[in-house]
């Protein structure tokens, strides 16, 4: 469901991927629209938007995936109109802003992650009525490990940047925790979130060492 340009609107070239600048522009449209409608929303970003806007570990992303507290029907309606307006005015891909991640989270897990993200308050974008926070790093890491696991089973899901994304999340966790992480602890998080993982800790250590010059997952 993309927005449709009226004859009075400037027709823009559709974008397939969003750079940090593209994403900030599109999110700015959303934030301004929400403010106009007197709505203030906090969304929790996962994946490419975090890597592109905040970590700068990826040049671009094809969407901005988020989850949030339960939004009212009115809030969802306004938010849908806001991202459609951004698609129309900036050329952002259809459904560039989506909450597909929520489909894979139970209500209790999602509520806990929202509270955790708000407490950490890692702001990756803020304008008008929109605040976009980074998802907890431990969840970002585990969801990426799940993605890599799925790609091993289905080659069509493979993305070359996945292991580097995971290394970037791991590095933030190392900073947050003040030292290396035990394999057992990460495995417990994966179970907590109802995700799966492949045994790629050695590969992840290699990727982290390549970029950050240190091994950060320890134990058997």
pLDDT digits (tens, 9 = 90+) for 44-89: 999 999 999 999 999 999 899 999 999 999 999 999 999 999 999 9
What are the beta bridge partners of residue 130? 41, 127
Across residues 160-173, what is the average pLDDT? 92
Which has more confidence, 94 or 30?
A: 30
Residue 214 or residue 138, greater confidence: 138
Exposed, middle or buried: residue 120 (CB in 10 Å: 0-12, 13-18, 19+)? middle
Specify the pLDDT at position 17. Answer: 86
The overall pTM is greater than 0.85: yes
Please answer whether residues 167 and 212 qualify as being in contact, where contact means their C-beta atoms are separated by less than 8 angstroms.
Answer: yes
Closest CA to 96 of 125, 62, 70: 62
Residues with Cβ within 8 Å of 191's Cβ and at least 6 positions away in sequence, in order, are: none
Model pLDDT, residue 220 = 54
Confidence of residue 11 (pLDDT cuts 50, 70, 90): very low
Q: How large is the C-alpha radius of gyration of the chain? A: 18
């Amino acid at each position: 469901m993309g927005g449709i340009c009226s004859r009075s609107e400037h027709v823009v070239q559709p974008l397939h991927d969003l750079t940090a600048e593209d994403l900030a522009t599109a999110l700015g449209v959303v934030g301004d629209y929400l403010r106009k409608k007197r709505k203030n929303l906090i969304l929790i970003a996962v994946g490419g938007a975090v890597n592109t806007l905040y970590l700068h570990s990826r040049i671009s992303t094809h969407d901005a995936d988020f989850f949030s507290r339960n939004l009212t029907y009115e809030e969802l309606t306004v938010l849908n109109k806001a991202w459609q307006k951004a698609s129309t005015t900036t050329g952002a891909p259809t459904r560039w802003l989506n909450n597909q991640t929520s489909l894979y989270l139970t209500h209790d897990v999602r509520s806990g992650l929202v509270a955790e993200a708000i407490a950490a308050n890692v702001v990756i974008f803020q304008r008008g009525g929109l605040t976009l926070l980074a998802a907890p790093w431990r969840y970002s890491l585990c969801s990426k490990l799940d993605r890599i696991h799925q790609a091993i089973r289905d080659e069509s899901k493979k993305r070359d940047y996945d292991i580097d994304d995971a290394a970037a999340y791991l590095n933030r966790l190392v900073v947050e925790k003040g030292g290396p992480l035990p394999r057992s602890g990460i495995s417990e998080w994966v179970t907590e979130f109802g995700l799966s993982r492949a045994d790629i800790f050695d590969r992840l250590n290699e990727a982290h060492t390549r970029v950050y010059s240190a091994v950060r997952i320890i134990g058997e």
